[in-house]
Amino acid sequence: MKMQRITLHDIATLAGVTKMTCSRDLRTPEKVKAETAEHIAKVIAEVGYQPDADNSAMIGNTLPRIGVLIPSFHNQIFADLLAGVESVTRVQGYQTLVVNYDYDRQREEEKIATVLAFNIKALLLTESVHTVRAEKYLKAAGIPIAEVMGLTQTPGRISVGFNNHRAGLDMTNMLLASGKKHIIYFGSMSDTRDEQRYAGYCEAMTAAGLPAGRIAPNKISSVSIGTGMMTLARQIYPNMDGILCTNDDLAVGVLQECRAAGILVPDQMAIAGFHGLEIGQVTTPQLASVVTPRFEMGKVATEILIKKIHQQPTIEQVDLHYRLSMGATI
C-alpha cells in the first residue's frame, strides 16, 4: 500500500499552528517567532517532511542553500573554514546558511532540526559525534552530509579533515625531542577533537615512559583562559617544563603569563599551540604550532557536497594533513 505524502497541513496540525504560519516559516523564517520556528523545525525533522521543490510559494525564489553548523562565531578557526566554504558556494550559485550551537550537543541537535527545515540541499558539520535524536534527523534528511575538522568513518558521510590523534602525538614528540620531560596538555571544551589530541599526547608520553598531565577548563579557548590555566598549572605541576595547547589562543595566554612571571621561553618552558592561527604567528617569539588546513577543509568539503547534490562521482574521504611549525617557542 502506497504511503500518503505528508503535507504542509499535516505539519501545521502536528505543530499546533496554522498552515499560514508553517508556510511563512518556510518562506521567510525571520518573520516567525524563534520558539515557534524551533517547534516547527522539530516536527519537520521528526516526520522527514520535504517541501515541494516546484512550489515557489513554499520555498521562495531563493538560491539553493547549503547549511553549515559551527560551534562558535568567536573563533578564527571557523572563520577560515567558512571562507573556504563560501569560496565555492559564491561561484557555484549557492547560499550558505550558517548556524552556531555554542559547543552544546543538545543545542546542536536543535539547530540541526532548524536548519533542515530550510529545505537545504546539503549540510556541513564540524562535529562527528551527535545525539541519538540528531542522528535520526540526519539519516532521515536524505541529503549529502559532510563532517570536517577530523577524519571519521561514519557510513554515508563525507569526511574531510586531518588526523587529530596523530597531530597531538607528533607535536608532543617534538616537545620531547627538545629535551622537555614534564609536558602538560592544556585542553578547552573537551570535545571530540580535543580528546583525540589529548589521546595522541598521552600515547607519546607513555612511549617515553613519562607521566601525563592535563588542565581542562571546559571553556571556549581564549588568551585570558590560557593565562588563568598557566597560573593554575604552575601550582599543580611545579616541575612543568613544556605545554601543548589545543588552540593557539590558549598558547598565547600561556606565553604572556610566562613573560609576566619571568619564565624564559623556550629555555625554561617550551610552548606549542594548535592550528597555526595569525595570533600565534605575529607574536614574539613566534609560537610553535600544528598548522591545520582550515580554508582547504571548507573548500574541498563544499566541492564534494555540490558534486553529490548533482549526483556526480566523487571521493568521500579526504585527509588534508597538517604540518608542524617549531616557531621559536620550542
Both 23 and 154 in one domain: the answer is yes
The mean pLDDT value of the chain amounts to 90
Query: pLDDT tens digits for 8-62?
Result: 777 778 788 887 787 777 666 667 787 787 788 777 777 766 655 444 444 455 7
Confidence at residue 202, expressed as pLDDT on a 0 to 100 scale: 98
Please compute the mean of the pLDDT values over residues 149-163 and round it to a whole number. Answer: 94
Examine residue 65 and state whether it is found in any structural domain, yes or no: yes
Rounded to the nearest 10°, the torsion over CA 178, 183, 187, 191 is 80
CATH number of the CATH domain containing 264: 3.40.50.2300
- Triad 214, 182, 213: Cα angle to 5°: 15
> Model pTM?
0.82
Q: Are residues 184 and 308 in the same domain?
A: no
d(CA 326, CA 175): 9
What is the C-alpha to C-alpha distance for residues 135 and 130, in angstroms, rounded to an integer? 6
Confirm whether 64 is domain-assigned.
Answer: yes
**Is the model's pLDDT at 3 over the cut of 50?**
no
The verdict on 76 and 187 lying in the same domain is: no
Give me the mean pLDDT over the 143-163 stretch.
95
- Higher pLDDT, residue 206 or 25: 206
Q: How many Å apart are CA 116 and CA 103, to the nearest integer?
A: 19
Burial-class residue 185 by CB neighbours within 10 Å (0-12, 13-18, 19+): buried
User: What residue type is assigned to position 107 of the chain?
Assistant: R
Q: Does residue 150 fall inside a structural domain?
A: yes
Nearest CA among 171, 168, 146, 170 for reference residue 156: 146
Cα–Cα distance, 166 to 219 (Å, whole number):
24
Beta-carbon contacts of 139 under 8 Å, excluding residues fewer than 6 positions away, are none
Residue 16, sorted as left (phi over 0), alpha (psi -120 to 50) or beta, turns out to be: left
**158: domain range?**
8-162+295-321
Going by the DSSP 8-state scheme, the letter that residue 247 receives in this structure is S
Q: How many Cβ atoms are within 10 Å of 320's Cβ, its own excluded?
A: 17
Q: Of 19-28, 107-116, 125-134, 246-255, where does the model show the most confidence?
A: 246-255
284 and 306 assigned to the same domain: no
Q: Are residues 301 and 157 in the same domain?
A: yes
Both 122 and 146 in one domain: the answer is yes
Residue 329 in domain: no
Whether 2 is in a domain gets the answer: no
158 & 16 share domain: yes
Is 157 in the same domain as 179?
A: no
* 215-249 pLDDT per residue, tens: 999 888 899 999 999 999 999 999 999 999 999 99
Q: In this model, does residue 65 exceed pLDDT 50?
A: yes
Query: pLDDT-based confidence at 86, cuts 50/70/90?
Result: very high
Residue 1 in any domain: the answer is: no
Specify if 82 maps to a domain.
yes
pLDDT at residue 31, rounded to an integer: 72
The confidence band for 137, taking pLDDT boundaries of 50, 70 and 90, is: very high
**Domain identity same for 15 and 154:** yes
Residue 156 sits in the same domain as residue 215: no
**206/219 same-domain check:** yes
Domain count, the chain: 2
Q: For position 53, what pLDDT does the model report?
A: 46
| pLDDT at site 10 | 75
Q: Are residues 299 and 277 in the same domain?
A: no
Would residue 326 count as lying in a domain? Answer: no
Number of Cα atoms under 13 Å in the Cβ half of residue 149: 23
| Pairwise pLDDT comparison (272 vs 118), residue with the higher score | 272
Q: Which cell is 285 given?
A: 617569539
